[in-house]
Structure 1
């Protein structure tokens, strides 16, 4: 496979398409002569990168504004494409759609895009070098088409996208090549040309010059770069401070970009005292409102600020900031960059954030369509992308529903990426943020051994940062699990859960996770009223905090309002449909339904909970009791048998004492236990 690709890349065999620089098609080593038509070239490039067949009407809208016969011109272009490819079968027309079959051929942009999707951090130096060499010019260099705003919008987006990929590849090369490698300087120069406001690139250049003894050149670059940043109202101090810190070291032996972890975002952040700088950071760029108009440089042509898209952006930024999971760039900063027509990827590097979210809002007759992407800035990798389409019966309710889904998805995806990254690092190299996410990874395994590992990493995070509220909440959770699962002395572990939750509140009383931890700790102590107050406070602080809604469902399901429990369970699952605690959300709903006498439904929801891959023994016990109450004795007996393999002496008292049921609920579940021999 690798040898085939190499031969295609050098154009000696098969079909090779180059979209960087002027569009070039090479067949078996010979460059094909392309017709002069710009629209033909544009059509070729668009179809080459299209992931799915494209309708003829879409292609006509893309390239022809109001011609006499757009479909006739499209047919002419397609016939010419067949000749260029020297294989009519490669142009596939089915009904009203068109697609290119480029299987077995080499397309530079596709090779780069598919590799970037996996993450440039996974590539070795040889592959990084090969990819870097593919960028021989801009994407579709020199191809501009007047009166085709939709195509030019697409081409601009592709140029930004691949520019971000190129910058990520160059940064990776600079970070990993030997410091004395002759190509490092060239890579840094290209990196700076692509991202002139990326502080890491400037410090990399400064260190490279210093390594060669060119201190005077360093000072000249510092002055020029400071003036450049000042012209854009950006703070240059982090770059200057990082350079000074590097100068004070006895020797400069590693690429400077590695030492830039302390570089802080140069523009003011939302709630600057909410989350320390060392944690993951996010910029939500203003959404673009599309209404049949061209989009140029990330802003709607002729669009007016303050519309639906801007309001939507404000709402998402506010909701994410309230979660207090990570750094969120302030609204004014991202809007200021957008007003200057700064591309989202460039804005992410200027702001020195880890992630950038971008999106569009499109209003069409009978529907509202919202599309969003979450990109990891340093690797140019799309972490998450989704399109939401709703009927605008109540536009505010629709946008609220979509906003909920976007906020919870962004939070979940960033946490997943950070967790997985932390798992790949040596434990003794973790900082507080990474140790916390390493703890989460173990915590969500829900076994006694993994819970102890989670406690260890939360302790590590707190030794590194005693002001880390979420780490205290995580530590409280591990003690809560020890008490709830009877993995330790319940009274002692309950006291430790309460103590850690109290520390979390002392550090950050506005963090929903701190109130969530305290609410659960109070439940362990039998203080239901206090527990509900704390959990309500958690969701008041952040209505998108899914675990807060789940905890409310958990408490209400046992001795509170079972209908409220069902509502809170449903809302938590809507906010976080793939949550590691999904089994608990489903199990709480099952308990509430059983208390309402809806035993058949309770059994079905309990089965869903038990089917989750990380469901623990208590979830199996819920399923056994609910199935027994529904009269499904054989299935209930199977769960009881599975439960006793893990806990041979498990009885009804163990189940009852795990929870805080009211008297009626206790009597109900004892009845179910007797039916399957657990009484």
Structure 2
């Protein structure tokens, strides 16, 4: 939708009239994503659908929320509302209704709107409106996703707390022909996010990345078309195995599972995904499981053009279902490098039906693991043990146990501090070592061993295991995170900073990004870059309260002579039952005396007890 400055009257022309009428308004710009494609595919049918939508959805909602359509183009409209709340209600109602109407339709047949909203001063000229507010709304619409709503900071301030909706902070955006970068927000219109409440939520920065110098790919969560929510674990498991298989091919740059899964349940434009994650290819697909049969469809899309360069469908008996992820991953790689096909086909054929049943329990366990709650952690352990009972050679199930036990302790999912810590550490190590004995090439087993060793005063060995995880899979974001943790403790903050930045690049939308940012802040602190450490720690705490980030922030403030801020932050740290209470506890894992003294000095100035 084009509302460019060249389409507007000049400022001189506007002010030359005797009287210019102005008013404050909420301006909404909307257009149809992929309008030219839809018209090229079926012009008459598209026009008929748009007219029907105007009559049955757009105009009735416009009347309800007192909007005025200022002008329309072939693919969009400009609308004026008396308030941001009315504009927000209209936009959410329209987008949710469109999402329901598009359910089950192929992507190329969907009509999807992009909407931008801004609140500002407008100039009235008969029935038309002009001014920066119009231009900003149009530019915000231009960066919205198909099916999405992008709003300005001014609009978000007026909407928060007044709509049953969540917001994602997109940070400052450089909009075409707008002099200064503007902060923008994404309204989360999916019903799941609405149920979470109306508070604003922060997301990982919407940074755009350049394409790497080797083939790069993101595998989006496959859609569950079975009609049964309980089958989500099966669908997620197939996607996860595809990501794992792709990551083992070193000539691929593969986006990590957690960032790919941040798109689950969202309607997205593949080209936007490519820009947001910095990848050339996106793998998309669906799974339909019915009785003893399963069908998987998949396609590989070139994100620079939006065209499908490969697609296939797999119909299998359920006993064959778990080889599908290997075949899909193998076919994607074959499209880029034929030499991998023989080895991957042979690996898939070696799996037995018994192993596939065990993997069913493993997939279900991983689904529970990623919920990060005490109850789900317990269910995950049960699932992993069931998998082992059916197939004691399934290394991934042992890794699942180790990861769940470590996360339960690290994220305080169980009550109390350090209860049976020695016993839990032994269980983690035992499970991870069992996985390595079964599969010496398990990067995940090396990763969890590295983390556990780093938190138990064996940083030298932890670094070795972390580096081994990366050697096994250079696209394994968790391996770089473990290397950062161990390197910080060992007195290698430069290496830690390099490692954590690599992890953040591989998985920029990771749900555990608060912990990753905390490690980055710690590395910056040890490098005595206190202002940067404080800023990164604040970013971490903006995601979720975490004791490491809080400790770094207090010490950084102290070194910056911001003593009042340091003491307030330390007070928060000491008030939590999930944090260290003395300087001796904080510095215990750090091996280099200079690092110990650095923390001792900062935390002492902030007011932390020594013992």
* Shorter-chain TM band: 0.3 to 0.5
What's the TM-score, normalizing by structure 2?
0.46
Q: Which has the higher helix share?
A: 1
What's the TM-score, normalizing by structure 1?
0.42
Q: Which has the higher strand share?
A: 2
